[in-house]
Structure 1
């Protein structure tokens, strides 16, 4: 049986509906359907697929790692990616000079592959940071005050743990600081995230609940959250709350404008 067939049969045996799964796992209904149809291309990426499989399996009382291993086997490295190592396994011993030449040739190939994949990863990063139609919040000024329900300035704005807002005794404010800093506080459940600081990827991975990640950049910080409803965001001490709802995949970039003023945009 395929991965999707295993999941669908287990869910039906349990008597659970797609809505039940969505409510309990926080996985969006369209992604649940994609998993059960083995239509993995619909999901945002392989990291999400593995996370969703573990989460869904946990709900069904199944071994999530077994499903992840089965998924990994479906996406094993292509033969061309292993061709460099095959001569070492199959060829008999050669004279020292021949081995030296082979070593140099392999080194050149590996360097070429590294540069090639580096270019692909860099291009993928630029594409990832481009607008792909996913939910993104409106542009905001980091230096402006958030109005309360009566239209006046808010007096109860929370400060991020370890953020620039805690350095007010030194005379710094979000509007005056040179650069952009960000605090991501994961609340009650884990969340996959990716962070790019000044166009350089600095973090990608899953962060557990009740953990805080801090980042600082000179010009910009770009963040992608796999579950925007699980992470509170502060930028230069300003509380932006949650950037989306449970299960929403959200991208947001906070940049430093050319005139020195800081602003955030989707």
Structure 2
């Protein structure tokens, strides 16, 4: 009798388990997709909140997938995308999970419309506070604009220039009051008389220089040689200087100026274009 043959001459079937039986056995030992993700998350020391924040997958969907409930995903395409994202977040290879999902759900699904994906993976809007930086910038720009408008508006006025440069004790002059619309005409070149500085203190020397007939460069120093003024007086401008001992003057065009020293006008007949160097003390008027 031959071994391995049945009495009727047919061979015995192989007594080894079928390959399908082996696959079923391995499937029984393999954890589900949700269980595998949950175990990997726990081993990685992560919470569901950690995974949700890292992947932007809502907490409810993460819980559902770990319970092998893929309905909240919105379809097979999005379920596979969530599986890939969650597997990477918990540091495991997503390929076996995707293969297992395809085997359990009838193979790789066809693409689905984009609208369910948007609904399934809608990102929770972040609450933002007011933009204080933009508000501060807008406020600063408004203030700068208002200041600039005020300066430009206030810069208009008559063309008369009043210059006062004084020595050790400055003199005070009253600001010109605004001229009414229907005021009487005023002489644009009023005569400067002795009374203009008649109140000059006796214990000091007071010198007033007026560019009555034209412009002139002047320089003035006190008794210590300190420069009080060095510049040009335009026609109609004046300067007043005071010192406790003396004032030294240099006139670039002596014929264009009038001098008042200690309340009295100096009557020297200076020539136009003549340069004069003068010194005045408390005992003057008398040119030094």
Larger Rg: 2
Task: State the TM-score bracket (shorter-chain normalisation).
Answer: 0.3 to 0.5
Q: Which has the higher strand share?
A: 1
TM-score (norm 2): 0.31
Where relative contact order (Cα < 8 A, 6+ residues apart) is larger, the structure is 1
TM-score (norm 1): 0.33
